[in-house]
Homo-oligomer: A and B are copies of this chain.
Amino acid sequence: MNNKKGCNMKGLLSFQILWLLSKKPMYGDQLAEEIEKRRGEKPKPSTIYPALKELSDNELIKGKKDGKIIVYSLTKRGVIEIQKTTEYFCRSFGEILKESKNM
């Protein structure tokens, strides 16, 4: 039996949501599908909606209800935040991609 785990890759969900919304306003399930394209796994509703609520509570995104869907986009604070966090992300992890072939 193999009880050895691989390396944890959790994290940066809110950052990825913020980044995706900076490209195009989207609703929750649509965001989950965009994340699936990248990570290979679609976040569960119980992962994505609490994250959207947290970002919304912190006024980094705002939602506009349209029937059963809520379309989110960045607030002014969100625009500033995605600039700051993208810089931090590039400083922290940029070199890892720099050496990768498919860049």
Interface residues of A (CB under 8 A from B): 4-12, 14-16, 18-19, 38-40, 55, 57-60, 77, 81-82, 84-86, 88-98, 100, 102-103
Contacts and interface: CB of A to CB of B under 8 A. Distances in A.
Contact of A92 (B4, B39, B88, B103): B39
Contacts of A95: 38
Nearest to A39: B92
Contact of A14 (B8, B77, B92): B8
Given A7-B55, A94-B97, A102-B94, A88 B15 contact: no
A60 B85 CA distance: 29
Contacts of A38: 91-93, 95
A98 B5 CA distance: 31
A37 to B, nearest CB: 9
